[in-house]
Structure 1
Amino acid sequence: MHIRRAVSADAEELCSLLNEIILAGGTTALETPLTAAEFADWFIDGEFPLVCHVAEHDRTLAGFQSLSLYGDPPKGYADIATFARTSPKISGVGSALFPATRAAADELGLEFINATIRADNVGGLAYYAKMGFQLYDRLFQVPLLNGTPVDRIKKRFKVDAGRRPTSSL
């Protein structure tokens, strides 16, 4: 699997991947499909995205991971979004993307990466736990478009958590 920065030309294929996940429902807070232009604005080159990486597998974009400042997170924080193709499902996409995202967060001087995950997204909760994210907050009963209340779990990753201390010798 090859990881690289997303470019505007990726928007159409990535938008299709994301819209498939949105239409399936149950794993993302996004409920309305996006256009390719909206996708590019939200995840690649708009006002709020900081970085977006894609995973390529067999000439296909298998998934993406972005960091953004959408929603005005606290200073030193950025929000992460991770999406992987569901058909065909390709194992390990999120795990392959995270080192590049983490390195970008470090380069940007971020202290924390925030993940806000639907409480009913068992796979998403497991993924972020596996990546080292720690629970720090919960938003209760956030309504979906159809009115169904679903909690949101907030987890964060301390960007320097994996750094080894440098020797002063």
Structure 2
Amino acid sequence: MTSETRSIHVRPARPDDAPALCTFLNEIIRIGGTTAHQTPFTPESFVAHYLAGPGFVCCFVAEDEAGEPCAFQALDRWDGIPKDWADIGTFSRPGNKVSGAGTALFRATCDHARSIGLAALNATIRADNAGGLAYYGKMGFVDYKVEKAVPLKDGTPVDRIWKRFLLS
């Protein structure tokens, strides 16, 4: 499945994308404040988490005009959400974002989620991640739960906002 928005090409992620995706995901982790991830990924741990884990549903990559990965979006399932839901995560290359990549990724992700019969998507976002909250709000997610004062590795408490998007 592919999708195009402007000059953005969206395709399923492959294991050979892992080094490039790790580079910008690890930069996001290093910068802090926009992901629940606190431990950097290796290409192998990236593949295990995003492309081959037990809850894996899908992972799409957006490429910029030069054909370089500029963002990715993944779905997985875990016991903390209903069986017909998937959890979504979206990551964009810091400092050199490509306008429209998130919308193009979301279109491909929703198409896939509907094709396999999912009812909804869950996004759990740190309360201090203004960009993530804005993105998921723009995509049509609505708040349904707040998990108060979840401690980071350094002990700092940060609320988690749970948002859902109904696929029907």
TM-score normalised to structure 1 length? 0.91
Contact 1:119 1:152 in 2 (8 A): yes
Counterpart-to-counterpart distance in 2, 1:75 and 1:36:
29
| Cα distance in structure 1, aligned partners of 2:62 and 2:78 | 22
Partner residue of 1:3 out of 2, 5, 10: 10
Q: What is the one-letter code of the residue matched to 1:107?
A: S
The structure 2 residue matched to 1:31, chosen from 25, 30, 38, is: 38
Check conservation: 1:136, 1:155, Cα contact below 8 A.
Answer: yes
1:28 touches 1:117 (CA, 8 Å); kept in 2? Answer: yes
Partner of 1:60: 68
Give the Å deviation of 1:72.
Answer: 4.5
Alpha-carbon distance in 1 for matches of 2:79, 2:99:
30
| Structure 1 counterpart of 2:125 | 117
Which of the residues 16, 24, 28 maps onto 1:17? 24
Corresponding residue for 1:164?
A: none
Whichever residue aligns with residue 90 of structure 2, its letter is T
Number of residue-to-residue matches in the alignment: 160
Q: Which amino acid aligns with 1:153?
A: I
Alignment gaps of 5+ in structure 1: 161-169
1:4-61 alpha-carbon deviations (Å, 9 max, x no partner): 0001111111111110100000000001101111101111122221100000111210
Percent sequence identity over aligned pairs: 51
Q: Does 1:141 align with 2:137?
A: no
1:71 offset after TM fit, Å? 4.8
Structure 2 spans left out of the alignment, 5+ residues? 1-7
1:101 corresponds to 2:109: yes
Q: Following superposition of structure 1 onto structure 2, how do residues 51-90 of structure 1 map, counting pairs within 5 Å?
A: 51-57=58-64, 58-90=66-98
**Mapped partners of 2:78, 2:18: distance in 1:** 18
Q: Secondary structure, in 3 states, of the residue corresponding to 2:158? A: strand
Counterpart CA distance in 1 for 2:97 and 2:136 is 18
Of 62-71 and 113-122, the range deviating more from structure 2: 62-71
Superposition deviation, residue 83 in structure 1: 0.2
TM-score under structure 2 length normalisation? 0.92
Counterparts of 2:139 and 2:22, CA distance in 1: 25
Give the structure with higher Rg (CA).
Answer: 1
Aligned partner of 1:94: which letter? G
